[in-house]
Amino acid sequence: MTKGKARLFRTLSADSVLVLPNAWDAASATVIAAAGATAIATTSGGVSWSLGRGDGQGLSRDEMAEATRRIVDSVDLPVTVDVEGGYGPTPAEVAETVRAVVEAGAVGVNLEDSTAVGGPLFEVAEQNARLRAARDAAAAADLPELFINARTDVFLFGIGAADGRLGEVLARATAYAEAGADGIFVPGLLDLDVLNALCAESPLPVNAMAVAGGPNVAELAAAGVRRISLGTGLAQAAYTAARSAAAELLGTGGLTALEGSLDFSELNGLFRH
């Protein structure tokens, strides 16, 4: 079953622009699947918030893997997991993380090159070793088809001089491809001209993170982006809706924020009993 989903995920990643609204728990994954998603991606921030922690590897590896298992078990779609920095800086720790999510049923991972929130980044040679460890661990776990999306935070955290960032990302994409990565994820980059240049030259298909007020799916796709995700965007929207409804109820006693909600029976019927 997992191998079939892994092959499907690779097909989806190659044949069209893959749009991934990110889930943070079993319920959100179920709702996203019902909306027509072809695959599910997790958001580390959303998963952490749902368990009462902040983002930035606030969870343990085991907690993240168990959350992954619940999401995988809730849907019939391929699931790719945000494993942040691998839950440890060493290749051995990254390998342990990959084994854990493969065992949980995931068919893909995002692995970032930041040593901490805000940077600095791992040196290219260090990140290459971590990516190779992820690839080797997947093969050893009998899932060589695991899709490894190498995230680089050059643009997200403004690493280096602005005029050198595109070159740095391209150099990292080339190195990461040689280390076994299948895609390059560049959150924080939404300049369509720069994305055009990156997509034209990158040896790996490019993943961008869409945000409110930024380019839409059609614009990102036209720039050459092959995979589009939302990060914590959907989780933020859901928690904003909950806060707005609670504030209205506690303030004016009104219930207008609940209008347009999914019907109880419709929502409840999405879950396996």
pLDDT tens digits, 151-181? 999 999 999 999 999 999 999 999 999 999 9
273 band by pLDDT with thresholds 50, 70 and 90: low
Q: What is the CATH number of domain 2-232?
A: 3.20.20.60
| Mean pLDDT over the full length of the chain | 97
- Chain centroid to Cα 266, Å, comes to 28
- Extents of the domains making up the chain: 2-232
Kindly indicate the confidence band of residue 272, based on its pLDDT and cuts at 50, 70 and 90: confident
In whole angstroms, give the CA distance from residue 43 to residue 232: 6
Prediction pTM value: 0.96
